[in-house]
Structure 1
Amino acid sequence: MSEAFRAFRLCLTTAFGAAPFLVLVQCLASVAESVAAPVQVYGVKLLVDGLTAESSSAIAWGIGVLLAGFGVLFVASVVTGQVKDTTDEKVFGRVFQNLLRTTTSVPGIRHHEDPTVANRIEYVREHSWNLGFSFQILMYMAATMANTIAVLVLLGSVHPALLLLPLLGVGRVWAAYVSTRWNTSAHEAGMPQGRVVSRLIDIVKDPRHALELRVFGLRTVLVDRLTRLQEHRGALETRAAVRGGMVEASARIGFGVAYALAVLWVISQARKGQLTAGDVALVILVAPQIDQLTGGIAGHSAWLADILRTFVRYDWIRRYADEHSWGDTAEPAPARLRSGIELRSVGFSYPASGSPAVSGISLSLAAGSTVALVGDNGAGKTTLVKLLARMYDPTEGAVLVDGADLRSIDPTRWRQRISAGFQDFVNFEFLAGEAVGIGDVDRIDDLAAVGAALDRADARTVVESLPSGVRTQLGSRFAGGIDLSGGQWQRVALARAFMRERPLLVLLDEPTAALDPEAEHALFDRFATASKAASAATGGITVLVSHRFSTVRMADRIVVLDHGRILQAGTHEELAKAGGRYAELFELQARAYR
Structure 2
Amino acid sequence: MTGTASVADMDQLGADVARPTLRGLGARWRQRRTAAAQLRHLTTYAGRPLVALTTTVHLLAGAAPVVFMIGTGAALQHLDDGGAMPWLALAIGAFLGQQLLAPVQLVLSKAVARRVDAACLTRFTAFALQRAELATLERPEVADRLAQADEAFEQWTLTPGAAVEGGLALVARYTQLVGAVVVLGVVAGPWVALAGAVVALVARAGQTEAFFRWGQLIRGFQPLRRRATYVRELATSTRAAKEIRTLGLVDWLDERYAAENRAVLDPLWRWRRRVYGVPFLTYAAVALAGSVAGLVAMARSAEAGQVGAAAVAVQGLVLCARFGVMFPESDVKLVYGRSAWEALLEFEAQAQHDAGPQAAPTEGRITPAQAITAREVRFGYRPDRPVLDGLDLDLPVGTSTALVGVNGAGKTTLVKLLTGLYRPDGGTVAVDGVDLRDLDAHAWQRAFAITFQDYLRYEMPLRENVAMGAIEHRDDDDGIAAEVRRVGLGDLLDGLPLGLDTPLTRALPGGRDLSGGQWQRLALARSLFAVRHGASVLVLDEPTAQLDARGEAEFYDQFLDLTRGVTSLVISHRFSSVRRADRIVVLDGGRVTESGSHDELVDLGGTYARMFEVQARRFGGTDGSSTGAGDDEMRTVQA
TM-score range, shorter chain: 0.7 to 0.9
Q: What TM-score do the two structures reach when normalised by structure 1?
A: 0.87
Counterpart in the other structure of 2:570: 544
Q: Distance in 1 between matches of 2:303 and 2:173?
A: 34
Q: After superposition, where does 1:65-80 map in structure 2 within 5 Å?
A: 65-67=90-92, 69-70=94-95, 72-77=97-102, 79-80=104-105
More divergent stretch after superposition (92-101 vs 458-467):
92-101
Q: 2:469 aligns with which of 421, 433, 439?
A: 439
1:471 aligns with 2:462: no
Give, in angstroms, the shift of residue 149 of structure 1.
Answer: 2.0
Change (3 A) 1:122 1:555: same
2:454 maps to 1:424: yes
Moved more, 147-156 or 312-321: 312-321
User: Following TM superposition, by how much is the alpha carbon of 1:242 offset from its aligned partner in structure 2, in angstroms?
Assistant: 1.7
- Residue 133 of structure 1: SS of its match in structure 2? helix
Partner residue in 1 for 2:380: 349
The alpha-carbon deviation at position 478 of structure 1 amounts to 0.3
Q: Corresponding residue for 2:548?
A: 516
Structure 1 SS opposite 2:368? coil
- Counterpart of 1:357, as a letter, is V
* Equivalent position of 1:586 in the other structure: 612
Task: Say if 2:119 is the partner of 1:119.
Answer: no
Q: Distance in 1 between matches of 2:495 and 2:107?
A: 53
Change in Cα spacing, 1:542 to 1:273, as seen in structure 2 (3 Å) is closer
Quick check: 1:365 aligned with 2:395? yes
Structure 1 segment 477-492 matched on structure 2, within 5 A: 477-492=507-522
The corresponding residue for 1:17 is 45
Would you say 1:34 and 2:65 are equivalent positions? no
Change (3 A) 1:206 1:152: closer
Of the candidates 501, 525, 542, which is equivalent to residue 557 of structure 2? Answer: 525
Residue 162 of structure 2 corresponds to residue 141 of structure 1: no
TM-score scaled to structure 2, two decimals? Answer: 0.82
Query: 2:374, 2:392 within 8 Å by CA — same for their partners in 1?
Result: yes
Q: 1:336 to 1:241 in 2, by over 3 A?
A: closer
Contact 2:367/2:447 (<8 A) preserved? no
Q: Which string of whole-angstrom CA distances, capped at 9 and with x for unpartnered residues, describes residues 477-504 of structure 1?
A: 0011111111111111110111022532
| Deviation readout 1:118-155 (Å, 9 max, x if unpaired) | 11011011122222324422431322332232223223
Deviates more, 1:169-178 or 1:337-346: 169-178
1:559 maps to 2:585:
yes
**1:254 deviation in Å?**
0.8
Q: 1:197 to 1:95 in 2, by over 3 A?
A: same
Paired position in structure 2 for 1:503: 535
The 3-state SS of whatever aligns with 1:498 is helix
Contact 2:196-2:321 within 8 A present in 1 as well: no
Verify the 8 A CA contact 1:459 1:491 in the aligned structure 2. yes
Shift of 1:542: 0.9
Counting aligned pairs with the same residue, the percent is 27
- Counterpart-to-counterpart distance in 2, 1:263 and 1:7: 33
- Counterpart of 1:209 in structure 2 is 240
Q: 1:206 to 1:249 in 2, by over 3 A?
A: closer
User: 1:233: how far off?
Assistant: 1.0
Do the aligned partners of 1:369 and 1:541 also contact (CA within 8 Å) in 2? Answer: yes
Kept after mapping to 2: 8 A contact 1:155/1:283 = yes
| Counterpart Cα distance in 2 of 1:336 and 1:75 | 62
Match of 1:283 in 2: 313
Q: Secondary structure at the match of 2:240?
A: helix
Amino acid paired to 1:27 = T
Letter in 1 for 2:144: N
Deviates more, 1:33-42 or 1:17-26: 17-26
Amino acid across the alignment from 2:387: A
> Please, what is the CA RMSD of the aligned residues?
3.2
Q: Which residue identity is paired with 1:564?
A: G
Aligned to 1:386: 416
Cα distance, 1:571 vs structure 2: 2.9
Rounded to whole Å, the distance in 1 between the matches of 2:294 and 2:228 is: 53
Listed as ranges, the gaps of 5+ residues in structure 2 are 1-29, 621-639
Q: Which whole-Å CA distance do the structure 2 matches of 1:406 and 1:61 have between them?
A: 79
Cross-structure match for 2:12 = none
Aligned partner of residue 131 in structure 2, secondary structure: coil
Q: Which runs of 5+ in 1 are unaligned?
A: none
Question: CA-to-partner distance for each residue in 1:319-342, whole Å, 9 max, x for gaps?
Answer: 556664964243467765332011
Note the alpha carbon deviations across 1:385-406, whole angstroms, 9 max, x for none: 1111111222222211011112
Q: Within 5 Å, which residues of 2 pair with 1:63-212?
A: 63=88, 65-67=90-92, 69-70=94-95, 72-77=97-102, 79-80=104-105, 93=118, 95-106=120-131, 108-128=133-153, 129=156, 130-131=158-159, 132-157=161-186, 158-162=188-192, 163-212=194-243
Indicate if the aligned counterparts of 1:358 and 1:563 stay in contact, CA closer than 8 A: yes
d(CA) in 1 for partners of 2:95, 2:209? 37
Instruction: Give the Cα separation in 2 of the matches to 1:562 and 1:40.
Output: 83
Distance 1:437 1:318, change over 3 A: same
Question: How many residues in Structure 1 have an aligned counterpart in Structure 2?
Answer: 582
Secondary structure of 1:127's counterpart equals helix
1:410 is the counterpart of 2:436: no
Of 97-106 and 145-154, more deviation after overlay is shown by: 97-106
Going from structure 1 to structure 2, the CA distance change for 1:460 and 1:430 (only over 3 Å counts) comes to same
Cα 1:359–1:136 change in 2 (3 A) is same
Q: Secondary structure of the residue that 1:338 maps to in structure 2?
A: coil
Q: Distance in 1 between matches of 2:328 and 2:469?
A: 53
Aligned partners of 2:322 and 2:295: how far apart in 1?
19
Classify 1:67/1:432 alpha carbon distance in 2 versus 1 (closer, same or farther; 3 Å). Answer: closer
Structure 2 match to 1:377: 407
Amino acid at match of 2:61: E
Please state if 1:246 is matched with 2:288: no
Alignment of 1:567-586 (within 5 A): 567-586=593-612
Kept in 2, the 8 Å contact 1:342–1:364? The answer is: yes
One-letter amino acid of the structure 2 residue matched with residue 17 of structure 1 = Y
